Copies of this chain bind each other. A is one copy, B any other.
Amino acid sequence: MNSKKERTRELILKKSYELFAKNGFKQITMKDVCEATGLSRGGLYSHFAGTDQIFEAILEVLNQKDEMNFEKEMSEGRSAIDILDGALRLMEDEMLHPEDSLSLAMYEYAGTIDREMMNHFNKAGEKKWTDLIHYGMERGEFKEVDVHEMVSVILYAYQGVRMWSRIVDMTDATVREIVMHIRKQLVKEDIKHEI
């Protein structure tokens, strides 16, 4: 069972996530976090020295719990198409819910502080997709594509939708099209089935 200290930390991260998703990074102050959590100033500062530390802790948690754990699934010998379809479903779900997205906050955060952490996350995303596409090609499930090109298209089309769906009205059809485009590029025609 979690200690009180751990539970408080989790509460801070949860409430801060909601604040960052809604308002971005720059606008949120430690005072906002106190109000959202009901913690005193002293209570909050005993956990985090500033909103940048809170934000980094959130990114770390997201990175660790990463629901798209291709490596584990590949080591279990799962079908590349199944792994891809699972990932595309998650991406589709995320793209349909821009209000839960940390995109704006990440954007502002990276603009104000150093780029190292964002580079780190980006590289991890690139590696994950690169490995999955190679895996699918080796198993004969994926077409022989230009791997780096496909990784770029996947990552940036996704990010483009994540960002712009906060700016403009985007239909579910657009999100679906991006997902189906990725699938069509990768999966061999003869073994394609509906996701």
Contacts and interface: CB of A to CB of B under 8 A. Distances in A.
Interface core residue of A167, A173, A174, A178 (most chain B CB under 10 Å): A167
Contacts of A159: 160, 163-164
Interface string A129-170: 000000000000000001011101101111111011011110
29 contacts: A106-B167, A107-B163, A110-B167, A111-B166, A115-B167, A115-B168, A118-B167, A118-B168, A119-B168, A122-B168, A146-B177, A148-B173, A148-B177, A149-B180, A149-B181, A150-B181, A152-B157, A152-B174, A152-B177, A152-B178, A153-B153, A153-B157, A155-B164, A156-B157, A156-B164, A158-B160, A159-B163, A159-B164, A160-B160
A115 B169 CA distance: 8
A12 interface: no
Interface of A: 24, 26, 104, 106-108, 110-111, 115, 118-119, 122, 146, 148-150, 152-153, 155-161, 163-164, 166-169, 173-174, 177-178, 180-181
